[in-house]
Amino acid sequence: MNSSAPTPPQSDAPRFYDGSEYVKDNSVGFLMKVALAVLVRNLEHQLQALELTGTQWHPLLHVHLGCDTVAACAREMQTDAGAMTRMLDRLEAKGLLVRERSSSDRRVVNLALTPRGAEVAAQIPHMLSEVLNEHLRGFSPEEFKQLLDLLRRFIANGEALGEANKAGPGPHLMVQERDPEQNDDSNPS
């Protein structure tokens, strides 16, 4: 069996799509992409008040949440070190963070927020929460929990398919079971 061939679906699993009748507007992937694009657009609009662009607030938030090296931030944001460096250049130019080579390993670049950067970064989760809550307007607490559960299951199925197909390395996503009562919606992506 060719290891790059897709794993056939389980015979007892329902088939929601048929290639001969595929409609893009009913594609879960397409709808998730559109939902994310709308969310990001609204987040970026809101975060303009902090004078941050879409490529700036995200790494700033990750540093605020504990990413303390360029490599860790790149992994967390699923980007390459070169792109991460360019994003960090802009944040450093704005006086929001500083980079310093590790004294024990010159290959490691440590990150730290400046006092101003810490002040700005502390506002980001609150702004993200407001936008996410607007996107969830009309959802019941049960629907919110179900949405999280369904997305986690969708991701787990995809991870299992990737492992079964011995897919090459891709983004490493840490999706954990979370209690929706904790209100942890600080990371939209």
pLDDT at 187: 45
Assigned domain for 2 exists: no
CATH code of the domain containing 122:
1.10.10.10
> Cα(163)–Cα(25) distance, rounded to whole angstroms?
28
Tell me the pLDDT tens digit for each residue of 105-130: 888 888 999 999 999 999 999 999 99
Assigned domain for 1 exists: no
Q: How many domains does the chain have?
A: 1
CB 59 within 8 A of CB 88: yes
Residue 78 is part of which domain span? 27-182
pLDDT at 180: 43
Assigned domain for 112 exists: yes
> Cα(30)–Cα(27) distance, rounded to whole angstroms?
5
Assigned domain for 60 exists: yes
CB 9 within 8 A of CB 15: yes
Assigned domain for 20 exists: no
Assigned domain for 189 exists: no
Kindly report the average pLDDT of the chain as a whole number. Answer: 84
pTM, two decimals, is 0.74
Tell me the pLDDT tens digit for each residue of 56-102: 999 999 999 998 988 888 888 888 888 888 889 999 999 999 998 88
Mean pLDDT score, 128-139: 96
